[in-house]
Chains A and B, each alone.
Chain A
Amino acid sequence: MRAVWTLLKKELKVTFVTPLAYVFLGVFLFLAGLFFYMGIVMTGEASLRVMMGNLAISLLFVLPMLTMRHFAEEQKAGTFELLMTSPISPVALILGKWLSSMVMCSLMLIGTLVFPIVLEVYGDPDWGIIFTSYIGLFLVCGAFTAAGLFASSLTNDQVAAGMGGIVLLLPFWLIGNADALVGDGLQDWLDKLALLPHLRGFTRGVVDSADVAYFVAFAFVFLFLTYRTLESRRWR
């Protein structure tokens, strides 16, 4: 745990002393603000639902850019071998980097808390739905950063890692809208694997154990794959 904490602090320090994190946050908040504004003007409803759907898709493209540097940069800079020969276990290493991405994600989500306050000022939003929407978005962040981390562990090229993360996540979005191609029967199965159907419940105020399990399993599988990739470097 101590190693995880140390790594987490180091990662956050590296992140926030460069202006890149702020640019990243600023761009994210601009997109979120745009989706929020368009959503409320389009529907006239005191709800974050339109924003949440669009934001989840944006995160699919944005979060791999956040995680791309984690392992790719270490490998390129030659510090990866140093880390692997240090007393820090690969699990601690992965958790430290993943948690630092999650802290960044949390800050991004905290930045959007202005939106429900705006809704409260001008209307009467359902705070239960807002709460579950944020839980859903947080779980999405956990899943996407895990996939991004895995992509980063595969290469020493940051851009390739970022693109790889997007390519990895894209099918999980697209299969949710494949009914015109595959028919309703297969679509029901694909919906079980697709990302957005699992977020819909949260945006309606429903926390479903299956949806939570999906995102937790998604994150776990990609973190485990990252672990196997790092481990493989010992014997490759």
Chain B
Amino acid sequence: MALSRDVQRALAYGGNATVVTALVVLLVGALYGVADRNRVTADLSEGQENTLQIDTLNKLELLEGDEQLVTVTAFSHQEGKRDTYVKDREVKDLLVELERASSVVNTEFIEFDRERLTAEKLGVTEYGHVVIQRGEERVDIRARELFRKGPDGEVQFLGEGAFNRAAAQILSDRQRVIYSLQGHGEKSVSDSGPQGLSDLSSLLDKENYRLKPLDFFQASEPGAIPIVPLDAAGVLIAGPTGPLTDAEQDALVGYVAGGGALLIALDPRAPEIDILDDLNVRIATGVAADKRVYYPHPDRPVPQYGRHGTVDELREQKLATVLAHIAPLRLPATAPEWMTVDVLFKSSRDGWIDRGGELEVGGLARYEPEFDLPGPVDYGAALTLTPDENGVVEPGNRVARIMVLGDSDWMSNELLATGPGNGSFAVNAFRWMVWDDARLSLIGAPTAVRRLALTEEDQGRIRFLVVFLLPLLILISGAAVWASRRGR
């Protein structure tokens, strides 16, 4: 049957139009596909809250290297509680970012009350729990590790740091031991009081660094010369108040001479440490002070960050590390060829060494020229010692690293929880000490939930404004336009 000319024409045009349309739609789809595979993102939130830290990205990269699927299962918080919505949302946002950043990470958000079977299967019995699994390995993050109350009572989300530490646990197949010297009034690893190091210990545990107490005389055979244990990845000396014996001093000097790593945190009036004398690093008499302090603590000057891998990101992110009652350091004016000195913390130009007795309490510290010495003052430094015939490290050994800080309180349970940057700096300091340089970065800065403080009255006012007044004004304008048009 022959088609009429009109039908033939319509078929020809129609066929052509359909093909062209299909091609254009396919082309646009393909362009979108290309854009989807080559994403460029800009995080415009203040503090770039949606951007994963370099440390997290590094860990995700390491996880990808193993090509084994990592499953992150997060359970919702209890419904009906005040912060449930924001807490669940923060967790979901992190899951989105993790999944987006890595091809091996698979995330799932489970409504705890609705999917009890999944919870039972994983043995989860509490709300807000996160389970990270890779093959047979499993790390659990509890709800209280994900959120904390900030200094102003605001909810802070610590999810990225928690994931980071869990990933470190999964990735590390070898635990490194760091010995913490005891027996001279040092801070204790097992002390969970404000001055103790129990929180630091658990923080490092999650990085797969084990902090073990070291008492030279208990560790050695009676009468034997004390030495640092052979499995030591580093030694921590945290705030000794009594002197070290000659044998202990020799053990530390010998350890460094063999390419060891030390983290020495001293307070004002600390005993002498021989190895620091050998390096011409001294503790000046007095206490470091500054016009800029963490109010109302005149003995907590706001430190300025130097340039070093352990503090670079803290400086860039403006995360403060809180040090208290700091012993001023005297670093060598010119370091010998075999030693490099990097200042980690120092005072501002307005800093000084306070020697006039007690710092002013309850207000700002005051510089008194008749007693005090002008600044700026160094609070901490990282020393790298290369093997050299004239140096401390004997030729043939590996490079030694020493971090010296004029304060030991910054790593105590009290300040570790107070200073926004203290946790990151602590982890970085130990990472640097044990040559885990590739992992130097923030361990996940907390993000704060921005709360509204609304009274019943405020709510009423807002409701009236946005639900009634605003639409009403628009409707009145419409009525006015209508009336004026009718009047013409």
Given the known interface contacts A22-B478, A41-B454, A224-B21, the answer about A209 and B40 at a Cβ–Cβ threshold of 8 Å is yes
**Residues of A contacting B438 in the complex (Cβ-Cβ under 8 angstroms):** none
Number of B residues near A (Cβ < 8 Å) is 58
Which residues from 1 to 34 on chain A have a C-beta closer than 8 Å to any C-beta of chain B?
A: 16-19, 21-23, 25-27, 29-30, 32-34
Hey, which chain A residues are within 8 Å of B20, CB to CB?
228
A119 (CB) vs chain B CBs: closest residue: B452
Contact partners of A228 in chain B: CB under 8 A: 17, 20-21
Chain A residues near B45: list those with CB within 8 A: 126, 128-129, 132, 204-206
Please judge, given known A-B contacts A205-B43, A217-B32, A232-B14, whether A126 and B450 are in contact too, CB under 8 Å. yes
Does B295 lie at the interface of the complex (its beta carbon under 8 Å from any beta carbon of A)? no
CB distance from B449 to the nearest CB of A (A): 6
A37 touches B41 (CB 8 A): no
Q: Count A-B contacts at CB 8 Å.
A: 170
Is the C-beta of B371 less than 8 angstroms from some C-beta in chain A?
no
Residue of B nearest to A32 (CB): B466
A77 within 8 A of B: no
Contact, CB under 8 Å: A44 / B82:
yes
Question: Which of B9, B28, B49 is within 8 Å of A205, CB to CB?
Answer: B49
Within 8 A of A (CB), among B443-458: 449-454, 458
For residue A106, give the distance in angstroms from its CB to the closest CB of chain B: 15
> What is the interface size of chain A, counting residues whose CB is below 8 A from a CB of the partner?
63
CB pair B481–A192 under 8 Å, yes or no, is no
Of all chain A residues, which has the CB nearest B473?
Answer: A26
Name which residue of chain B comes closest to A25, CB basis. B474
Assess the B46–A128 pair: CB atoms within 8 A.
yes
B49–A33 CB distance below 8 A:
no
Determine which of A17, A27, A29 lies in contact with B485 in the assembled complex, contact meaning CB atoms within 8 Å: A17
Q: How far is the CB of A161 from chain B (nearest CB, A)?
A: 20
Give the residues in chain B near A21, CB-CB below 8 Å. 478
Quick check: which of A45-53, A56-64, A84-92, A139-147 contacts chain B, the rest being far away? A45-53
Write the chain B residue with the least CB distance to A224. Answer: B24
CB of B2 closer than 8 Å to a CB of A: no
CB of B447 to closest CB in A, whole Å = 10
Find B471's partner among A33, A124, A129, A131 (CB 8 Å cutoff): A33
Interface residue B462 (Cβ < 8 Å from any Cβ of A):
yes
Known: A29-B474, A220-B28. 14 other contacts (CB 8 A): A16-B481, A19-B478, A22-B481, A25-B474, A33-B466, A46-B451, A119-B452, A122-B462, A124-B450, A192-B36, A201-B41, A206-B45, A213-B35, A235-B10
- 30 A-B pairs in the complex with CB atoms less than 8 angstroms apart: A18-B482, A19-B478, A19-B479, A23-B475, A26-B471, A26-B475, A26-B478, A30-B467, A37-B459, A37-B467, A42-B85, A43-B86, A44-B83, A111-B474, A115-B466, A122-B454, A126-B45, A127-B46, A129-B45, A132-B44, A200-B96, A204-B45, A205-B43, A205-B45, A206-B41, A207-B42, A209-B40, A210-B39, A221-B24, A232-B13
B residues with CB within 8 A of A: 9-10, 13-14, 17, 20-21, 24-25, 28-29, 31-32, 35-36, 38-46, 49-50, 82-83, 85-86, 89, 93, 96, 449-454, 458-459, 462-463, 465-468, 470-472, 474-475, 477-479, 481-482, 485
